[in-house]
Amino acid sequence: MKTKALGPIPAGYDALDGELAIGGRTASDLVASARSTPLFVYSRTHLDRRMAELRAALPKRVGINYAVKANPHPDVIAHMEPLVDGFDIASSGELAMVQAQRIDPTRVSFAGPGKRDEELEAAISAGVTLNCESEGEAARSLHIGQRIGKTPRIAIRVNPDFELKGSGMKMGGGAKPFGVDAERVPALARSIINEGADWRGLHIFTGSQALSAEAISETQSNVLKLAEKLSGDIGEPLPKLNMGGGFGIPYFPGDEPLDLGAVGSALERMVDNLPDSFDDTQLCVELGRYLVGEAGVYLCRVIDKKVSHGTTYLVTDGGLHHQLAASGNFGTVVRRNYPVAIASNYSGEAQDVVNVVGCLCTPLDRLADAALLPAADVGDIVAVFCAGAYGATASPSAFLGHGAATELLV
């Protein structure tokens, strides 16, 4: 069988006693303390290091928000609380999650194209900033604010006329369900201000999962130019500008890590050249995947090793019910291998070409195709990396009744 390459294992995952170690503990030790597989392990060390890299690279003036949707595990949110400047939520469910961690609501903003009245009410009542997605949503928010006697904090999410080039998901450029088309923003902003809302500025999100520093810098430059123009047209300075995110992580063979230094120094120059009208504008980037993606590893156990027509299968107790994106079934056209390893034989020499599959009774349930891996048999532990973002909650955990995975922050 022809070998297919695996994605690159993120930095900082070394061997201990021949096994994969996470947070200084071996995979078998982690599985033993969780008392079950499959298991998501999130590493504090990795979370801290990524934040330190970002603080070192980005201009001091630019805050860092955590997009909770990437990983809403309570322990992860609690760990991020002292590290980041703000939290971005996408539903009243996520509002409850940040409230459960006693996060100051003035640090929280809420974006999402289909906010229900009860969600708007919960957010306004808590004092969370609404990133308003349409004229209709603005009217509903103002009405709800009046009804409950609370001034809503409102920013406008802008649908810009440009996109983040090379991004995995484009969220700007042309017709989009997100935000308000740029040319309609000044009139809406004036109306929001006139109606007495607490004006919070703009949110300009253009795409996600880009690995090119040049593309990110170009987009950030476009975001700042657009914000400057819109602020002028509105006739008021922006209290805050959420510049969006888009910082990607390597998942697939050939992917190279983002050059964060290049992004930071380009952004430094842009920020230094901002006009005086931005002197009091809070700037931030909004990151999810980039903060937590590489900090998570999914561990599952080999339940069966079998051969069919010359092909060897490692059948695990994990699968797409926990790792939909890794199986290649979530917004992917061509399936490619994530970084995968034999966690229980991490120092072993790669010698066998195997297909790693999940336990679900569907041919979609693939974790690695034709992977060259060290020897593994029933009982061995398989690691799927880049499992910290859009893993547990972005997968159909009820599918086929196997249940959710354990999640552990170490």
- Cβ nearer to its own copies, comparing 94 with 195: 94
- Cβ nearer to its own copies, comparing 111 with 326: 111
Sign of CA dihedral 371, 373, 376, 379: negative
- Cβ nearer to its own copies, comparing 98 with 267: 98
Which tokens belong to 297?
Answer: 């590893």
- Cβ nearer to its own copies, comparing 25 with 321: 321
- Cβ nearer to its own copies, comparing 82 with 136: 136
- Cβ nearer to its own copies, comparing 324 with 340: 324
Shortest spacing between CB 64 and its own copies, in angstroms: 19
Shortest spacing between CB 134 and its own copies, in angstroms: 4
Shortest spacing between CB 52 and its own copies, in angstroms: 28
Sign of CA dihedral 60, 128, 290, 294: positive
Shortest spacing between CB 311 and its own copies, in angstroms: 4
Shortest spacing between CB 97 and its own copies, in angstroms: 6
- Cβ nearer to its own copies, comparing 26 with 316: 316
Which tokens belong to 228?
Answer: 């400057």
- Cβ nearer to its own copies, comparing 135 with 214: 135
* Burial class of residue 17, CB neighbours in 10 A (0-12, 13-18, 19+): exposed
- Cβ nearer to its own copies, comparing 24 with 113: 113
